């Protein structure tokens, strides 16, 4: 509660402060900025989740005692930033608690769904409160110095890519020191820190939380802009990984360990040469200790964009050879420290296509052509009408991971889509087919997919939104009974009735007969249904109530994929930004 008290005092201070004087400055490249006295400002976001997990599972020999495995989880996340002049203090506090996760069975107390494992410190057996992120930043117009948690990425991510990724609960920062400065046409960035993955998940179940395993990462990038049409950058990073899961020595020891791997590389960007924007990057990786299976790797990425007439043509190519083996240790905690462009369509990544995304030996490219056929109507309304065609092709010779066969593959993945937006009428549609052709007589894996997001007004403030997705997968001959997989169909639908901005009522239905999906439907084994009501009492506040079930599956965001568990039960969530 002391946090609230401090926040209240700060608010009082803000209210009593003198408002900044008016500064009528005309818009321009560098207008004079009137100095106003620094004021304390506190802002933040808070998210609360309450989940009631239903389980139809029965304990062996205790079939007469249903619902023993039901339990409740509550999660609270509070992001606070306090600013005073050029300083900013940012904090993220997370709390999670499990309830009804224990029961007496014939007089013996049994704990199911243990919240955290040995090594995680908490005074409460079924609750955990952590200060997930903390940072103090000093900013001037051209420089920034952060002590604590910050994010860093070099180039297109093949040398280092730790960006905020809250979408799939893998938000990993670097806790240490980071500085950025711009001097003329030069940008300099240097960072050294310990990886700090989020421990408490906001959207996923919190069960068996592992203690943080700190890896040390130190790197720098120098960029030079304005060399004629060229912009150049060079970067390098070194990685000191903590190898064993139970090796939880003092965090600072990570910096004293031998360097396990180093990445280095450079990028060239040229804008507007002959109407084409070019970007090229090459990165190398040296593995200095055992555990990666190789001594070195490299990656290359190239993009070229042209804008002929109403078209936008984007050509991308990539080659990766053991460049992402560097994620070996970080993946134990579901995140990656290096992640380059995959050129795949994130929404249809399956267990099989994930193998190509994370391949250690792959070359490929993608061509995408978008047409801008919309415009401004005489009544001043903007209309977006943008069809596109994308074709990606890869040659994947890495047989590790979830490859499900022992044959190199050639992958072709065309996608067509369209965006149409006018007034309140919206259509976003994407459809594609992917084929993974095996060398020799191994046949091919085939996938067809469609996703659609459509919204249109019904009457007055009432509108209807329909979001169906469909995916079918036909496996070829996987080469052995052990590796052979089964064809499947995945369907997910969301049907929403929206009443103005504040209210939405959504019906979800999922179907999946994919045997790799580790969940069971609530209507039948393969059919899931759920309902949700959403209420936005203000522009930055949302309350949601959910009841039902959805299936497990892979979800990808920011180049990182995570196997999300299914759910059956009830949820309540409350989010507000203040």
Partner 1 sequence: MRPFFALCLALCLSATAWANTGKPASDFSLRDINNVTHTLAQYRGSVVLINFWATWCGPCQVEMPHLQKMHTELAAKGLVVLGISADDARSASMVKPLVKNKGLGYTILLDPQTAVVSQYNPSKTLPMNVLVDRQGNVANVFSGYNPGDEVALRAAVDALLAAPK
Enumerate residues 250-279 that contact partner 1 by CB under 8 A: 269, 271, 277, 279
Distance separating the N- and C-terminal Cα atoms of the chain: 18
Least distance (Å) between residue 342 CB and partner 1? 7
Residues numbered 466 to 505 that lie near partner 1 (CB under 8 A) are 498, 500-501, 504
Closest to 327 in 3D by CA, of 302, 363, 297, 365:
297
Least distance (Å) between residue 238 CB and partner 1? 19
DSSP letter at 329 equals: T
Q: Kind and range of the H or E element at 352?
A: helix 351-357
- DSSP letters of 226-263? EETTEEEEEEEEEEE---STT----GGGGGGSPP-EEE
Q: Kind and range of the H or E element at 190?
A: strand 186-197
Can residue 6 be called a binding residue for partner 1 (CB under 8 A)?
A: no
d(C-alpha 280, C-alpha 231), whole Å: 11
Between residues 97 and 222, which has the closer beta carbon with respect to partner 1? 97
Choosing from 101, 198, 303, 350, the residue that interacts with partner 1 (CB under 8 A) is 303
Least distance (Å) between residue 225 CB and partner 1? 5
Q: Kind and range of the H or E element at 173?
A: strand 172-183
Neighbouring C-beta atoms of residue 31, cutoff 10 Å: 10
Can residue 341 be called a binding residue for partner 1 (CB under 8 A)?
A: yes
Choosing from 58, 59, 68, 83, the residue that interacts with partner 1 (CB under 8 A) is 83
Can residue 142 be called a binding residue for partner 1 (CB under 8 A)?
A: yes
Size of the site for partner 1 (CB under 8 A): 121
Choosing from 286, 410, 493, 575, the residue that interacts with partner 1 (CB under 8 A) is 575
Give the CA dihedral 463, 466, 467, 468, nearest 10 degrees.
Answer: 180
- CA–chain centroid gap for 507, Å, is 25
Least distance (Å) between residue 455 CB and partner 1? 6
Structure tokens at 510: 């999922």
Residues numbered 184 to 223 that lie near partner 1 (CB under 8 A) are none
d(C-alpha 254, C-alpha 240), whole Å: 6
Candidates 212-220, 236-244, 327-335, 381-389: pick the segment binding partner 1 (CB under 8 A). 381-389
| Whether 479 contacts 357, CB under 8 Å | no
Residues numbered 531 to 570 that lie near partner 1 (CB under 8 A) are 536, 538-542, 557-559
Can residue 12 be called a binding residue for partner 1 (CB under 8 A)?
A: no
Candidates 13-21, 249-257, 438-446, 518-526: pick the segment binding partner 1 (CB under 8 A). 13-21
Between residues 62 and 382, which has the closer beta carbon with respect to partner 1? 382
Residues numbered 166 to 185 that lie near partner 1 (CB under 8 A) are 166-167, 182
- CA–chain centroid gap for 383, Å, is 30
DSSP letter at 191 equals: E
Coil/strand/helix, residue 291: coil
Coil/strand/helix, residue 106: coil
Candidates 224-232, 319-327, 485-493, 519-527: pick the segment binding partner 1 (CB under 8 A). 224-232
Can residue 134 be called a binding residue for partner 1 (CB under 8 A)?
A: no
Can residue 139 be called a binding residue for partner 1 (CB under 8 A)?
A: yes
Between residues 459 and 501, which has the closer beta carbon with respect to partner 1? 501
Choosing from 58, 79, 468, 513, the residue that interacts with partner 1 (CB under 8 A) is 79
Closest to 318 in 3D by CA, of 303, 332, 304:
303
Can residue 227 be called a binding residue for partner 1 (CB under 8 A)?
A: no
Choosing from 240, 350, 419, 522, the residue that interacts with partner 1 (CB under 8 A) is 419
d(C-alpha 343, C-alpha 367), whole Å: 10
Coil/strand/helix, residue 436: strand
Between residues 331 and 536, which has the closer beta carbon with respect to partner 1? 536
DSSP letter at 8 equals: H
Least distance (Å) between residue 186 CB and partner 1? 12
Candidates 57-65, 85-93, 408-416, 474-482: pick the segment binding partner 1 (CB under 8 A). 85-93
Structure tokens at 551: 């299936």
Least distance (Å) between residue 290 CB and partner 1? 28
Choosing from 58, 89, 97, 363, the residue that interacts with partner 1 (CB under 8 A) is 97
- DSSP letters of 311-374? EEEEEEEEEEESSSGGGTTGGGGT--S------S-GGG--HHHHHHHT-SEEEEEEEEEEE---
Between residues 157 and 442, which has the closer beta carbon with respect to partner 1? 157
Residues numbered 145 to 164 that lie near partner 1 (CB under 8 A) are 150-157, 161, 163-164
Candidates 22-30, 258-266, 469-477, 563-571: pick the segment binding partner 1 (CB under 8 A). 22-30
Least distance (Å) between residue 122 CB and partner 1? 13
- In sequence order, the β-bridge partners of residue 527 are 511
- CA–chain centroid gap for 504, Å, is 25
Between residues 438 and 555, which has the closer beta carbon with respect to partner 1? 555
Least distance (Å) between residue 483 CB and partner 1? 30
| Whether 326 contacts 300, CB under 8 Å | no
Which residue is listed with tokens 């990057």? 281
């Amino acid at each position: 509660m002391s946090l609230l008290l401090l926040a209240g005092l700060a608010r009082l201070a803000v209210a009593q402060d003198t408002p900044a004087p008016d500064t009528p400055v005309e818009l321009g490249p560098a207008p004079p900025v009137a100095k106003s006295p620094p004021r304390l400002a506190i802002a933040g976001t808070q998210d609360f989740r309450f989940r009631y997990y239903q389980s139809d599972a029965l304990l062996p020999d205790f079939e007469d005692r249903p619902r023993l495995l039901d339990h409740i989880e509550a999660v609270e996340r509070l992001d606070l930033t306090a600013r005073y002049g050029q300083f900013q203090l940012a904090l993220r506090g997370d709390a999670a608690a499990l309830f009804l996760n224990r029961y007496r069975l014939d007089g013996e107390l049994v704990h199911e769904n243990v919240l955290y494992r040995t090594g995680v410190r908490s005074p409460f057996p079924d609750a955990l409160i952590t200060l997930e992120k903390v940072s103090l930043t000093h900013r001037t117009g051209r420089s920034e110095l952060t002590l604590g948690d910050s994010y860093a990425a070099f180039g297109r991510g093949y040398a280092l890519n730790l960006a905020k990724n809250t979408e799939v609960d893998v938000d990993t920062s670097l806790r240490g020191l980071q500085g950025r400065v711009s001097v003329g046409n030069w940008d300099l960035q240097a960072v050294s820190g310990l990886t700090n993955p989020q421990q408490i998940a906001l959207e996923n179940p919190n069960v068996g939380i592992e203690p943080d395993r700190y890896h040390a990462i130190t790197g720098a990038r120098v960029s030079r802009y304005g060399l004629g049409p060229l912009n150049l950058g060079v970067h390098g990073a070194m990685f000191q990984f903590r190898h064993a899961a139970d090796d939880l020595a003092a965090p600072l020891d990570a910096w004293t360990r031998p360097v396990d791997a180093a990445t280095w590389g450079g990028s060239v960007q040229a804008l507007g040469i002959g109407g084409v924007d070019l970007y090229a990057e090459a990165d190398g990786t040296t593995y200095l200790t055992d555990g990666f299976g190789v001594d070195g790797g490299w990656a290359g990425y190239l993009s070229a964009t042209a804008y002929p007439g109403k078209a936008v043509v984007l050509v991308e190519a990539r080659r990766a050879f053991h460049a992402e083996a560097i994620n070996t240790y970080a993946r134990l905690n579901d995140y990656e420290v290096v992640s380059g462009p995959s050129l795949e369509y994130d929404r249809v990544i399956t267990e099989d296509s994930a193998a190509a995304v994370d391949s250690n030996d792959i070359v490929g490219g993608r061509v995408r052509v978008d047409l801008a056929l919309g415009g401004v109507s005489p009544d001043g309304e903007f209309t977006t009408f943008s069809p596109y065609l994308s074709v990606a092709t890869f040659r994947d010779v890495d047989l590790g991971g979830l490859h499900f066969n022992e044959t190199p593959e050639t992958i072709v993945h065309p996608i067509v889509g369209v965006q149409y937006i006018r007034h309140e009428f919206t259509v976003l549609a994407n459809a594609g087919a992917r084929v993974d052709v095996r060398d020799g007589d191994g046949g091919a894996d085939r996938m067809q997919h469609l996703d659609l997001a459509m919204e249109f007004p019904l009457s007055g403030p009432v509108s209807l939104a329909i979001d169906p997705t469909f995916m079918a997968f036909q496996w070829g001959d996987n080469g052995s009974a052990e590796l052979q997989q089964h064809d499947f169909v995945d369907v997910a639908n969301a049907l929403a009735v929206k009443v103005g901005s504040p209210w939405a009522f959504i019906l979800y239905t999922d179907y999946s007969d994919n045997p790799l999906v580790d969940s069971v439907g609530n209507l039948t084994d393969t059919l899931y249904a759920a309902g949700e009501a959403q209420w936005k009492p203000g522009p930055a506040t949302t309350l949601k109530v959910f009841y039902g079930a959805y299936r497990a599956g892979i979800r990808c965001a920011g180049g990182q994929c995570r196997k999300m568990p299914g759910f059956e039960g009830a949820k309540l969530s409350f989010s507000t930004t203040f």
